[in-house]
Each structure stands twice: as C-alpha cells, then as structure tokens.
Amino acid sequence: MAETTHFHVEHLFSLKDYVCLVTGGGTGIGLMATQALSANGAKVYITGRRKEVLDKAREIHHPDKQEADIRGEIIPIGPTDVRSKDDLQKLMKEIESKERYLSLVVAAAGVPGPKEPAPDTNDARELKDKLWDSEEPEQWNETFNVDVTSVYFTTLAAMPLLQAAPKDHYPSAIIISSMSGMMRNSQSHFAYNAAKAATAHLSKMMSSEFSRFGVRINSIAPGYFPSEMTMKQSDERNKADMPDEKVKDKGHKTPAERSGRDEEMGMAVIFLTKCAYVNGQILAVDGGVLNEVAS
C-alpha cells in the first residue's frame, strides 16, 4: 500500500530514464508534448519533415540547465516523412543504434485536409455542386494517409522498442486524434473530421491487439489549441497564438471561453504516460465543447 509520500508529484510523474519519440515534435501539440516530457526527465527524440524546425525546437525549448537534477533532453532526429515506410524503418534503426528501448511514442504529425464551403443550403443540387467542386479525392487520400495510415505504421514500427522498455515504464503510445472526430457536425472539414474519427478508432483497435506485448495505446482528442496547423503559422519560437475571439466565433459555445493552454496539453500527455491503469481510452481535452455539440 502507498504511503502518503508516494503521492508527491515528483514520485507520481517523474520521467527519469524514459526515452520517448514524438512525431511532429517541432511545433504545435507535438512540441507541447515534447516540452512536458523533457521538463520532467525524459529523453525525447523529435522528428518531422523540416530539419530546421526540429533544430530550432531543441535550441529554444531544451530544458533549463539549472534544473539538471530532473531535466531531460530534446534530440532532433531525421528528418522523417511518416508517410514513408522506408523513412520509418530508418528512423527506428537510428534510434535503436542509440537506445535500448522506447518508453513512449507520441504520434502527433498531422494535416488539416481540405476545407469545404459550409453545407448551409436546403437545395440538394446546390449542396452537391458546392461540395463536389471544392475538393478532390486525392486531397482526402492525403489527409487519411497522414492522419490515419502513418499513425498505424509509426506505432507498428516502434513496437519492438516499446516492448523492450523496462516493465515499470508501462510503455505506451499516445495517438493525437481530435474532438472533431467525435462530433457530428463537419465544421466544413469532412475529410479531416472523418480521418480523426478513424484515428481515434484505430487507437482503440491497437490498444486491444497490441496489449499482449505489454504496450498501452491511448488517444488524446484536443479541442481548440494554438498550433501551426490551426493558425496557419508559427512564430520565431515555433509557437502559435489563438485569440479568445477565435474560439468564441465557432458557431457553438466553448464553456472554457478560451483556447487550451500548452501546459494543459502537457498535463494530459504526462497523465497518460504515467498512469499504467489507463489503456484504450480517448481523453478529450476540449474545454467542454463536446458538452455543447452533437457527438
């Protein structure tokens, strides 16, 4: 049985000796995860398609040297195109040449997909013409390729290293899906919302099928968080800002009345990393939006 001292936050959430991989780790939610993990002692490999973005993330956001007793590391690796099996194999071989195991994989790489006009007409022919002409099947294929297919192959490629982790790390993967995959309205993003729904269900299937290897799979479904994907740009620190007005102008209520904070995403990541009794779950970190919209 646990003594009271065992509940100290440093005991509950220390990530000392954890080795992690974050795809899309240079910006957005991937960078938030990277900061949270490395600040609490983990060695975090970050990858993505743009080497300069990864290098900047390490330069600017590497844990403070004054916290040497608990700080981890941020290590750029790659670049990697997660759509490519060859790139994923190369990535895992490079990590395996440096590490004996991975404690955690965060699959955060993603794309927003095409945006359609709002389906706001009662005339079926007008609706068909508006949506038919606004996008192409290739755009849907690319959205699913990045947001769903690459998540599967990234997790699969990492399985041997995850299984090799110390048992007390309770190795796991965290799949970044979206609250958009849990709601019924399209938000003028049919492809993205459908892909994120598939990503969330994929995480559940993998949690069941891969549990025999001692690896947990959970998903985080973020709401409105500032990122390069949502705001179309990042600043000189690889960060983005989402004004409160943008959150309030979504056509529905957001009970939190603001976007999510970086630290709140970090809390979710660390909780799923450390709480070994959680497996196969989708954690919505959405400011209460799913209480307000049909899901």
Q: Which residues are known catalytic residues?
A: 177, 192, 196
- Of 275, 272, 269, 147, nearest to 201 (Cα)? 147
Point out which residues pair with 284 in neighbouring strands: 221
Question: Half-sphere exposure (CA, 13 Å, Cβ side) for 146?
Answer: 19
Reduce the DSSP state of residue 218 to 3 states and report it: strand
Peptide bond connecting 79 to the previous residue in cis, omega within 30 degrees of 0? yes
* HSE value, Cβ hemisphere, 13 Å, CA-based, for 4: 0
Cβ pair 287, 253 in contact under 8 A: no
Distances (CA, A) of 195 to 41, 97, 141: 33, 34, 10
